[in-house]
C-alpha cells in the first residue's frame, strides 16, 4: 500500500469499525482504533463460563465473500486467516403441534421439505423464492452497495433499473401481507415472516421488500465460521494488526473534536489526539449525544422508532440433544400478538418465539463432553424504562416451560451455568442506544431512506459506519457499511 501521510481514527472496534480500519489502512492512512471495552467485536464478541464458550451476539453468517474480500484487498490469502463451512440444513423449526421442519439450502430442496410439512405446494414455494431472488437483483445495487445520500449514485444504470421496477420489490405491501398472498399454510407464512427479526422489525409493519432476506439465507446459503462467530472478529483483528492498524482497548473516546466544521481529532481520558479523518462505529444516536455535544443533531433521523432488543440466556446444558441443530427456532402460536406486544405494548409476550444457537454442534470444544452451549434468545422491546428484573424472571419461566413442552424434557435441571443479557446490558456493553440491537426499526416503507448517511453533511472529515447507519444491521451489511463509508472518504 502507498502511504499518504494522513491519519484516521476509528471509534469502536465493532465488526464494521474493524473493516473500516482495514480499508482505510489499504488507502494509505495511519489508522488507530479506539475501543472502550477490553475486547474487540462489539456485539460480535465471546465469553467462556465454566468451560462453556459462547458467541455473545450475531449467530447467523451469510455472504462470507465480504470477509474474503477484505483479506484479499490486503494482499493476503483468505484461507490463511478465515475458514467456514456451508450449512445444510440451515435451520430446524419446531411448532407446538409437534411439527418439525428442516430449512434446507437451495430452492428445490427447501421447497420440497416445506411442501411435505405444510399445505403449500412445492411449485408455489419455488415461484416465491424466484420472486425474492428477482427482488434482490433489483434492490442490491440501490440499497446495499452505494450511499443513498449521494445524488450521483441514482444515475447509474442498475439503480435506474431498480427504481423503474419499484412495483416488483414489495415497497407498497407489508411482509405479512405479501406472504399471505403467496402461501396458504400459516406455518409457511410464519417461517418467512420471521426474517423481519433480522433487523429488529415487525413483519406486520415492515415493507415486503425485506422478504429478500430469505433469498440470502435459503438460496445464497448460510455458513458456520470455523471456531465460531467470534473467529470473524479475531481473524479481521489479526489481519488489521498484520497490515499496521493500531488498536487501543479499554480506551473510551469522550469527544470527537471539531473546529470550524472540520475534524480535528478525538479526546480520550488522557489527552487529545489529532486526526485528519474520524469514522464512528458507535451507534449513531450515541455518537451525537455523547461524542458531539456541541454539534446540531439531525433529529429527524435520530428520532426514528428504534428496533426491538432481546433477552439472551447463555446456558451451559448438561445434555446432548440429538434432535437439535446449530440454529433452532421454537415458534409462538400467535406471531401477530407477539409482535404487537413487543412494538405496541412495549413488553414481552407470554408465548415468545425462541431461538437456540448451539455452536458445540460444530465446535465440540465449546462445551464439556456430552454437554451443549445454548445461546437462547427471545425478542423484546428496547429499553424504555421497563422493570427488567421482573421481565427477565417471567421470560425465563415462559422460555423454560415452552422448551420443556416441545422437547419433552426438563431444561431447568440441565442448566449447569447461566449468564443473562437484557436490553440494559446490551446498551452498556455495545453502546446501542436503548439496547436497540439493530438501530432504527424498518417498520415503514421509507425506513431505508431514514437511516443516517455514512458521512456528516456538516463536518468535513467525519464519517459513520455500522448497523445503525446505511445500509443497516447484520454482519454482511456492516461490512458493506464500512466499504461504502471508506469509499466516500475524499
**Which residues are 460's β-sheet partners?**
262
Domain boundaries, the chain: 7-42+62-68+229-304+446-488, 113-220
Question: Which of the residues in the chain have pLDDT under 50?
Answer: 151
**Which residues are 373's β-sheet partners?**
316
Question: What pLDDT is recorded for position 160?
Answer: 57
**Which residues are 223's β-sheet partners?**
61, 86
User: Using CA atoms, how far apart are residues 10 and 17, in angstroms rounded to an integer?
Assistant: 6
Distances (CA, A) of 204 to 223, 268, 344, 462, 473: 29, 44, 12, 36, 19
DSSP state of 197: G
User: Using CA atoms, how far apart are residues 295 and 284, in angstroms rounded to an integer?
Assistant: 13
Question: What pLDDT is recorded for position 161?
Answer: 57
Question: What pLDDT is recorded for position 151?
Answer: 46
Q: What sign results for the dihedral spanned by CA atoms 380, 383, 385, 390?
A: positive
Model confidence over 151-199: pLDDT tens digits? 455 556 665 555 555 555 667 799 999 999 999 999 999 999 999 999 9
User: Using CA atoms, how far apart are residues 295 and 307, in angstroms rounded to an integer?
Assistant: 25
User: Using CA atoms, how far apart are residues 340 and 197, in angstroms rounded to an integer?
Assistant: 13
**Cis peptide bond upstream of 89, omega within 30:** yes
Contacts of 29 (CB under 8 A, 6+ apart): 4, 6, 7, 8, 276, 277
Contacts of 14 (CB under 8 A, 6+ apart): 41, 42, 43, 44, 281, 430, 466, 467, 478
For residue 388, give the nearest of 334, 309, 329 by alpha carbon: 309
User: Using CA atoms, how far apart are residues 130 and 140, in angstroms rounded to an integer?
Assistant: 15
Is domain 7-42+62-68+229-304+446-488 annotated with CATH 3.40.190.10?
no
Q: What sign results for the dihedral spanned by CA atoms 356, 361, 362, 363?
A: positive
Query: What is the CB-side half-sphere exposure of residue 338 using CA atoms within 13 A?
Result: 23
Question: What pLDDT is recorded for position 163?
Answer: 57
Q: For the chain, what is the radius of gyration of the CA atoms?
A: 22
For residue 437, give the nearest of 324, 267, 310 by alpha carbon: 310
Amino acid at each position: 500500500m502507498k502511504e499518504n501521510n494522513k491519519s484516521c481514527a476509528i471509534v469502536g472496534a465493532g465488526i464494521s469499525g474493524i473493516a473500516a480500519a482495514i480499508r482505510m489502512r489499504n488507502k494509505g492512512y495511519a489508522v488507530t482504533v479506539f475501543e472502550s471495552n477490553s475486547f474487540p467485536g462489539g456485539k460480535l464478541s465471546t465469553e467462556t463460563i465454566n468451560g462453556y464458550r459462547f458467541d455473545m451476539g450475531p449467530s447467523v453468517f451469510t455472504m462470507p465473500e465480504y470477509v474474503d474480500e477484505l483479506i484479499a484487498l490486503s494482499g493476503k490469502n483468505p484461507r490463511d486467516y478465515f475458514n467456514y463451512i456451508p450449512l445444510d440444513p440451515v435451520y430446524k423449526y419446531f411448532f407446538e403441534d409437534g411439527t418439525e421442519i428442516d430449512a434446507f439450502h437451495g430452492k428445490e430442496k427447501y421447497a420440497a421439505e416445506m411442501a411435505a410439512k405444510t399445505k403449500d405446494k412445492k411449485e408455489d414455494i419455488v415461484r416465491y423464492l424466484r420472486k425474492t431472488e428477482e427482488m434482490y437483483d433489483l434492490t442490491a445495487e440501490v440499497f446495499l452497495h452505494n450511499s443513498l445520500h449521494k445524488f450521483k449514485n441514482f444515475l447509474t444504470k442498475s439503480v435506474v433499473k431498480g427504481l423503474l421496477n419499484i412495483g416488483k420489490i414489495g415497497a407498497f405491501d407489508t411482509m405479512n401481507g405479501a406472504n399471505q398472498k403467496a402461501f396458504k399454510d400459516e406455518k409457511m407464512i410464519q417461517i418467512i415472516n420471521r426474517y423481519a427479526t433480522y433487523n429488529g422489525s415487525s413483519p406486520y409493519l415492515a415493507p415486503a421488500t425485506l422478504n429478500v432476506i430469505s433469498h440470502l439465507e435459503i438460496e445464497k446459503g448460510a455458513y458456520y465460521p470455523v471456531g465460531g462467530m467470534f473467529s470473524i472478529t479475531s481473524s479481521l483483528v489479526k489481519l488489521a494488526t498484520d497490515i499496521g492498524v493500531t488498536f487501543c482497548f479499554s480506551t473510551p473516546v469522550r469527544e470527537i473534536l471539531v473546529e470550524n466544521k472540520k475534524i480535528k481529532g478525538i479526546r480520550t481520558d488522557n489527552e487529545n489526539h489529532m486526526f485528519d479523518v474520524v469514522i464512528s462505529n458507535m451507534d449513531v444516536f450515541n455518537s451525537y449525544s455523547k461524542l458531539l455535544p456541541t454539534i446540531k443533531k439531525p433529529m429527524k433521523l435520530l428520532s426514528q422508532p428504534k428496533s426491538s432488543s432481546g433477552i439472551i440466556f447463555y446456558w451451559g446444558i448438561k445434555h446432548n440433544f440429538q434432535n437439535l441443530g446449530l440454529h433452532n427456532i421454537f415458534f409462538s402460536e400467535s406471531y401477530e400478538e407477539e409482535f404487537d406486544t413487543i412494538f405496541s405494548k412495549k413488553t414481552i409476550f407470554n408465548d415468545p418465539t425462541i431461538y437456540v444457537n448451539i455452536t458445540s454442534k460444530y465446535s465440540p470444544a465449546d462445551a464439556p463432553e456430552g454437554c451443549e452451549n445454548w445461546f437462547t434468545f427471545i425478542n423484546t422491546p428496547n429499553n424504555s424504562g421497563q422493570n427488567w428484573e421482573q421481565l427477565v424472571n417471567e421470560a425465563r419461566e415462559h422460555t423454560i416451560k415452552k422448551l420443556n413442552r416441545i422437547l419433552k424434557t426438563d431444561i431447568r435441571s440441565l442448566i449447569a451455568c447461566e449468564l443473562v443479557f437484557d436490553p440494559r446490558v446490551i446498551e452498556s456493553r455495545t453502546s446501542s442506544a436503548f439496547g436497540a440491537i439493530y438501530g432504527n426499526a424498518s417498520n415503514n416503507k421509507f425506513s431505508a431512506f431514514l437511516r443516517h448517511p455514512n458521512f456528516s453533511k456538516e463536518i468535513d472529515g467525519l464519517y459513520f459506519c455500522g448497523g445503525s447507519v446505511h445500509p443497516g444491521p447484520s454482519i454482511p451489511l456492516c461490512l458493506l457499511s464500512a466499504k461504502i463509508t471508506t469509499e466516500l472518504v475524499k
